[in-house]
Amino acid sequence: MKIALAQLNYHIGNFTENSEKIISTINKAKKENADLVVFSELAISGYPPRDFLEFNDFIIQCNEAVNEIAKHCIGIAAIIGLPTFNPKEKGKPLYNSAAFLSDGKLVQLVHKTLLPNYDIFDEYRYFEPNSEFNCINYKGKTIALSICEDLWNVQDNPLYNINPMDELIGQKPDLMINIAASPYNYHQTKIRKEILKRNAKKYNLPLFYINHVGAQTELLFDGGSLVLNSESEIYDELKYFEEDFKVYDLKEIETKSVINKNQEFSEIESIYKALVMGVRNYFQKLGFKKAILGLSGGVDSAVTASIAAEALGSDNVYNVLLPSRFSSEHSVEDSLKLVKNYGMPYDVIEIEKAFSTFEDTLKPYFKGLPFNIAEENLQARTRGVLLMALSNKFGYILLNTSNKSEAAVGYGTLYGDMNGGLSVIGDVYKTQVFELAKFINTNKEMIPVNIITKPPSAELRPDQKDSDSLPDYDILDEVLYQYIEHRKGPKEIIAMGFEETLVNRILKLVNISEYKRYQTPPILRVSTKAFGMGRRMPIVAKYLS
């Protein structure tokens, strides 16, 4: 049997485009003499469709699309993910299903059993878990078909009381197929491979695994679909961060030597590729072409501009330099070097006149109080007003340039530098931003070295440095990482050797800044715990604040 894996980039709710892409790939698989072509989880709808699943019309269109696709499955079979109605009177109204299409029709449905309901996942909100287990018989082979999480309960601390494969193995399958939508984070590739190897080893079967690729707002899918032999060796893997397609001979997987390409990216390279893909797909799927951002002369805006230039093309990234009375001369010079290195369009707009007007307007109402954070934030908000005006006038999307360290401790101005339609590096700690800058300069100095080496500063008051308000980023980021990603409490972090007063101060800053993060743009997710849909904290809480 020849099996094709189709690793495609879907668009949520774009049934016409998704169907056309699937049908085109089915025809391609036919030409390459495949017997079966496999598409990923919820391929028809795109993943995750979220509350679109509450609309009957949305589900009906998914099912109409799969019936149309089935007509093209003559001389070939296909496995495709989609939401389907639960015909039973009890339980959730939908299943997360895999459709087996053959002979021009839908032959069999397999439903997802293990429904993740943690971090970014919320599947039990919509779907009923499967309770009936049947393999698929096709061309003399018995296929154990499962959906994403169904293979993940082999971890050392299992979340569920059942393993779907334990139920299917009694039917003596010849192979396993798993269709997935496994989002990227910079640890996920290694974990995913280990999970799949455990399954191949435990059940002594070859395994075909197909993953999504592409970005769906903040969620990034890295692809990297896999084929493993029954010895739990990775026989081959598809590309990362790109669409891919390949046909495999089942017999050769068991008899030929491993041909694994062994793609290896460093952690920082994979983050870079993920962010580039995230920006590119966000614009493509919304129908926008051009971005705007405020270029400050600092490393955050420089890295954001560089990622955007790679994703959209340099001509489509409009950089606006917005110097104030406190901006250093080298910040402007460094920014000009950057835009010229990339050939990006730019303008320099002095904010002094607008800022002074705000100051004069507010002077009678500030009651003679000394210059403080109000005037500092007023500068950031002046910049925000100008950037949003240009965004509105020309139809650009404003890119937010805040990093995760700043977002964590509230070191940013609402309606100022926290503006934007997309936060590019909001899940990247400051120390990682510096690593990204160095990676971008691997072959050529695109980001001026002075931007990377100078002390970070918001430049909102004379001689200001980030270190005036925050601990050194090396220390801050490690404390934040232990608290946010690993959910360690203050006593645990202090026991790691961090100073007690410092830890308590940092954690308090994180928790009292929750209201700010509720008002930020969507953040491209690259870590195991990003701000946004995967981290749900109350605003009016007392814990550690």
**Active-site residue set:** 41, 112, 148
CB 64 within 8 A of CB 98: no
Q: Closest Cα to residue 151, out of 123, 113, 94?
A: 113
Handedness of CA 507, 520, 115, 199 (dihedral sign): negative
- Classify 388 as helix, strand or coil: helix
CB 107 within 8 A of CB 97: no
Q: Which two tokens stand for residue 178?
A: 């798993």
Is the bond into 48 cis (omega within 30 degrees of 0)? yes
Q: Closest Cα to residue 8, out of 34, 33, 37?
A: 37
Q: How far apart are CA 291 and CA 444, in angstroms?
A: 24
CB 363 within 8 A of CB 386: no
- Please give the DSSP secondary-structure letter assigned to residue 175: E
Q: How far apart are CA 49 and CA 53, in angstroms?
A: 6
In three-state form (DSSP H/G/I as H, E/B as E, the rest C), the secondary structure along 190-246 is: HHHHHHHHHHHHHHCCCEEEECCEEEECCEEEEECCEEECCCCCEEEECCECCCEEE
DSSP letters, 106-169, are EEEEEE------STT--GGGTBPPP-----EEETTEEEEEEEGGGG-TTSSS-SSS--HHHHHG
Which residues does 525 contact at the CB level (< 8 Å), separation at least 6? 120, 183, 184, 185, 218, 219, 220, 427, 532, 534
CB 279 within 8 A of CB 422: yes
